[in-house]
Amino acid sequence: MIPYINAPFVFLGKKIGAGPDELKLVFSFLLSYPLAGLLKRVPDARPAHKNLFSLGVSIFYLVGLFDLWDGLHTILFSAVGAYAIAKFLRGSPYMPWIGFVFLMGHMSINQIARMRANDPASVDVTGAQMVLVMKLSSFCWNVADGAIPEAELSDFQKDRRLKELPNLLDYAGYVFFFPSLMIGPAFDFVEYRCWLDCSMFDVPATVDPAKKPPTRRKRKIPRSGTPAMLKLATGLMWIGIFVTLSTYFSPDVLLTPRYMEYGFVKRVLVLHMVPLTARTKYYGVWTLTEGACILSGLGYNGVDPATGKVSWDRLVNIKPMGVELAQNTRAYLENWNINTNKWLRNCVYLRVTPRGKKPGFRASLATFTTSAFWHGFYPGYYLSFVLASLIQTVAKNFRRYLRPFFLDPKTQAPLPSKKYYDFFSWLTTQLAFSFATAPFLILSFSGSVAAWSRLYFYAVIGTVLSMAFFASPAKPALRRALEQRAAKAGVVATPEKGPSAGAKRQPLVRTTSNDSVAREPVMGLSDDLEKDVDEALSEIKAEMEARARRASASKPLFKKVA
């Protein structure tokens, strides 16, 4: 650590009641703005200078600011290990999985060390390592895709594949890209390379030259000061809200004797405010880091040919209003930690599925397990994950079998009564997830169960009762009611072979929310837990039958007589 650099943060921390490491973390995010502005001004023809600049700033953050020598060693160990695995095992189909296990295993060791240290106010390297696991496991898959014939790849794989390993300096610049070093956002090496050589900013020929985004001094990176400053202001606003609310709504509040002096409704409201307050911190820091990435140019995501408007949403990681106004669990999770969702989809869910087959139970289970282990090993994390998965399954059934009653059966347009359904959906989604995510903040098993018990386990009981309801004859009754309602409106589901005789028939219109097609899990949580369990049981049964057939076939038809 640079001498005396810690003193002002200790002094300010005592004044406002914050830890010096927390203040230094926010300071590093703010300092990244002017530094990103300098990085952007490194000549386009000097990519090596960009790499060295980013590398130097990151080392200053880790060592000069936080005194994380062990953290620097940790990042180097993961980075060198992943590069060596990609280089020397490139021809093996197991290479990306070996890299994945290496990175996850190394991070897990540090996650356990963090649990043992039990000092939430201090900054350690596990946050940066979580981002690094996403970046480097994706890197291994991108290298593996580079050795596969293009005809066997999806469009996404074709776009991100690496036919050759990058040189070590470019790789180091990717690993140590300072605006996203500590908490993300994560991105693929191909994106970094396109930013580095400025090919990312090539304007398609379809764009009118008069509508090309303005640049400075004949450089290719468009001006990004305004969108970056908007992110900076928004991030500081969220940080200010967090500082204000955290005085009243810290997770410890849920375990104090005074909390039990409140009535049940007030306890529920306080419970809702505790996770909301915690989310504002993430809204703030993720928005700040995204803004620094935008200022450097890496947030660039193309230009609209018609209007010439530049999009800067390549690395967006959070949509606060999408979370706070979500009327269903899937919308809630899709707007939270967006880049982690993409990583789980592209590097786990789709990768464990054999080519040519649809993802099923094994893909969902692998994604769920990876998401849980990636977060860490606190018991509270697993309580939250399990309950949230059950809540998502129940919510899907409600939307599939109740929501259509509030839509016109012919046009699927909302009926006047739908506004009541929307409000009730929003309220139950928010209160259910406030209950489910409380252990994520409390962390300990005993504390989490104690906090739930003080609210009479309302979300657990509601989820169990809802599951029982949809496992009862009520579910087929609702299905018949929907079919009768559709038939009265002249909309009837028809078999694939053709329409039946009688009234006017056409395929039943389905909305996205009640589509029966299986969808990918979000944050590792299954979208249809019931279907996944049935699929698992079917797989187990099929495997047992196959083994029985093999055992039967191996037995001799006649016993040899002595």
Backbone angle region of 519, left / alpha / beta, with phi > 0 → left and psi within -120 to 50 → alpha = beta
Read off the tokens for 28.
Answer: 């590093």
375 catalytically annotated: yes
The count of other CB atoms within 10 Å of the CB of residue 555 is 7
Rounded CA-CA distance 277/150 in Å is 47
Spell out the residues 6+ positions from residue 404 whose beta carbon is closer than 8 angstroms to its own: 482, 485, 511, 514
Rounded CA-CA distance 315/177 in Å is 13
- DSSP annotation of 522 reads B
Residue where the block lists tokens 């928005």? 287
Answer whether the bond into residue 34 is a cis peptide, omega within 30°.
no
Rounded CA-CA distance 22/178 in Å is 17
Read off the tokens for 370.
Answer: 């990876």
Residue 238 to residues 31, 225, 261, 287, Cα–Cα distance (Å): 18, 20, 30, 9
Contact 349, 343 (CB under 8 A): no
Read off the tokens for 421.
Answer: 């359904």
Spell out the residues 6+ positions from residue 46 whose beta carbon is closer than 8 angstroms to its own: none
Q: List phi, psi (to 5°) of 537.
A: -65, -40
Contact 346, 521 (CB under 8 A): no
Rounded CA-CA distance 347/161 in Å is 13
Contact 380, 435 (CB under 8 A): no
Residue where the block lists tokens 């991108």? 142
How far out from the chain centre does Cα 231 lie? Answer: 20
Rounded CA-CA distance 153/485 in Å is 44
Rounded CA-CA distance 282/290 in Å is 12
DSSP-derived secondary structure for 385-448: HHHHHHHHHHHHHHHHHTGGGGB-TTT-PBPTTHHHHHHHHHHHHHHHHHHHHHHHHH-SHHHH
Rounded CA-CA distance 289/235 in Å is 9
Contact 277, 245 (CB under 8 A): yes
Instruction: Give the residues across from 491 on adjacent strands.
Output: none
List the end-to-end C-alpha distance of the chain, in Å, as a whole number.
Answer: 84
Rounded CA-CA distance 280/320 in Å is 8
Residue where the block lists tokens 């994706």? 138
- Which member of 49, 106, 272, 375 is catalytic? 375
Indicate which residues carry an active-site annotation: 375
